[in-house]
A and B are shown apart, each in its own frame.
Chain A
């Protein structure tokens, strides 16, 4: 009865010898390289830059400005990656960053010096994240709603504290501004801070129990709970971590703009979430990488840079970003289905 299929089996037999890699063509092996698509996209963008604005794109000063721009949202993106892999979403990041920058630059805080200002920004960010986490875990609120409420409220609190005025960093606290002006090996200190956050984030996600549990909680919360993981506590920690990243980002934006302001970080939540999604992290949780998110963010930042250098409309820039999100997700869906 199965005689009819025997020849077909023989045909296929050689490809079956290596159990884990059927039909291991060069093309398939290329697909094994992580983030290949993102790297290609980044290279293509660089080529576009070299062709359209050859005089300005590949200069040191432009590279520095791209990285400085990426640093602030980049730090937020690291936190957002954790939250999204853990099955949540944090819409409040931009507003929390603004609140932290305002709180750290009030006259009262500034009177204690730069060190206290930094601690203040980190505490405000972490505190706001903690509130998010508690509302979601123990108040059983949907993450989208809880962090949307935080977005609105934090923005409002920042406006009230600053009286809608931009707060300048005072002469005595220039140490903070120095982070963007002092250069080491040609790069501003804040770029190094960004790099350190990325490395620490990668280690936390890939080498620690916290990271493992993040994947478990996002991938199957019920299984994680029954395996003995305290899912609620872990969820609180995830949002607190996201808040901490917002606090760090607040310090960076204070350094870059020399101000604290309630208008800082408008729509950063969208950029951060988009970067995470383009980087291949599932919005449903359980799967994703830090490296992907950072590549996604760099793609976004380079596009912005290209549009500015070419003197194009910011409206067109938004349209292009929207298209990129759609294309990236479509491509990922394709590679996912072809693999299963």
Chain B
């Protein structure tokens, strides 16, 4: 390899990658340099170009300019197949598994080991079982239908699929987003085993502490450009990383809280008694007062989302839900909405948004009746209301007619919140409101949530990130295995203490 890249240890070198989409230059000259056997972290705000960059690497998008050198040779990644053949596999943030197929069928989808066109199912199952065992998840059976698996288990299946190829570089886009704490530890163990064999990993995450733990070097992207290359993941100060990403120094700025006890006299907007979802939630009771933010802390799968969905009527449950003194019949979210609830669901894209439609139509979806007489929409009123909602939350760009899929994750989340900025909201249920949202936009979302509470709305907040619950909520309920095991003022808890409770189940 006479004409290899300047750094002889480089497995992948990308130089001056440009990718133009209609109306936006997603990549504007990106450089990336990844060595064999390292964990290379890619940092950047939403919209910085990370997703586009890995799609270029995966052969999904073709760059308009720039060069890619892989294994010492200049390559063209013309299709996903071409990328896989070179040894580049990608685990996407939105898992791309087929729910109706078995675990084994998913792992070997598209490259089934076959003889004369006949797939040997037993061979596929055996190979899958070995891969899963190697990942420390021998309990996932190759014949199980993927649709029945938990998000964490699906993540493992995706990983197994990436490993089923003869792979030299694995790209992981926010692999820990859907994982609980102990699952992340297992993920890191797998990554270490891979890098020990010389496989390179490109690791994308918003969680800086993870990057410190697993990463070797860091590349920072901002506005489609590389702003820093090859920083040490362990030693670079957080403030420096954050300021590179944002151009300012922000880290989890939580808005000030009202004084303790200041909600005591306020009316209860929500009272839940004996809420149970068979197999998921047992006998949960809680209250939320006007102006109060109540946080549900717990692991993924502990039943937090199920509690919220049951309150909202989106999930069959037994028990009593009383909103503003009036019992709400379950079984149908439209009743909950009429009674004054609003939900920002966990899976923003799958459950929250009409991706094909404009920002305005996404915002006005829940309040159409307010602008309509006998079903006829007053479009001027709809637009002016949407404009107010966009302004109030600072959605950028502030265009009504832009398709919502062109907005960044943080702004999409704001649009979901904006939907509920209408008169008569008593209670907002926020399920992982900052998932996939970058540091700068998070601070804005926190401020918005606090402002809504200050206006007298009760907020029930679910988050996997303990610091977020502790920093934002007034009162915290710790959920474990479908039960509330602890409740106290957020100021009386620290992160360590809460983590102990949600992982070990130790009462306070």
Contacts and interface: CB of A to CB of B under 8 A. Distances in A.
Contacts of A225: 314, 333
B18 A5 contact: yes
Contacts of A4: 15-16, 29
Interface stretch (B75-83, B289-297, B343-351): B343-351
B355 A226 contact: no
Select the residue from A209, A224, A229 with max chain B CB neighbours within 10 A.
Answer: A209
B20 A208 contact: no
Interface stretch (B371-379, B470-478, B495-503): B371-379
B354 A215 contact: yes
B25 interface: yes
Contact of B351 (A12, A219, A223, A228): A223
B22 interface: yes
B343 to A, nearest CB: 6
A227 B345 CA distance: 10
A226 B337 CA distance: 9
Contacts of B29: 2, 4-6, 8-9
B375 A5 contact: no
B332 interface: yes
Contacts of B375: 208-210
A212 B361 contact: yes
Given A216-B354, A226-B352, A229-B334, A209 B20 contact: no
A93 to B, nearest CB: 24
B50 interface: no
Interface residues of A, number: 36
Main secondary structure of the interface of B (DSSP, over half): mixed
B468 interface: no
Contacts of B30: 2
A54 to B, nearest CB: 44
The interface residues of chain A, by DSSP majority, are classed as: helix
Given A4-B29, A8-B29, A213 B350 contact: no
Contacts of B20: 12, 22
A40 B499 CA distance: 65
B229 interface: yes
A228 B361 contact: no
A20 B333 CA distance: 37
A16 interface: yes
A144 B337 CA distance: 31
A29 interface: no
Nearest to B31: A1
Interface of B: 15-16, 18, 20, 22-23, 25, 28-31, 65-66, 225-226, 229, 312, 314, 332-334, 336-338, 343, 345, 350-357, 361, 364-366, 368-369, 372, 375-377, 379, 419
29 contacts: A1-B31, A2-B28, A2-B29, A4-B29, A5-B16, A207-B379, A208-B372, A208-B375, A209-B369, A209-B372, A209-B375, A209-B377, A212-B364, A212-B365, A215-B361, A216-B354, A216-B357, A216-B365, A223-B350, A224-B365, A225-B333, A226-B314, A226-B333, A226-B351, A227-B366, A228-B334, A228-B336, A286-B354, A286-B356
Interface of A: 1-2, 4-6, 8-9, 12, 16, 19-23, 207-210, 212-213, 215-216, 219-220, 222-230, 286-287, 339
Given A22-B23, A216-B354, 16 more contacts: A2-B16, A2-B30, A2-B31, A4-B16, A12-B20, A23-B22, A207-B376, A207-B377, A208-B376, A209-B377, A212-B368, A220-B355, A222-B350, A229-B365, A229-B366, A286-B356
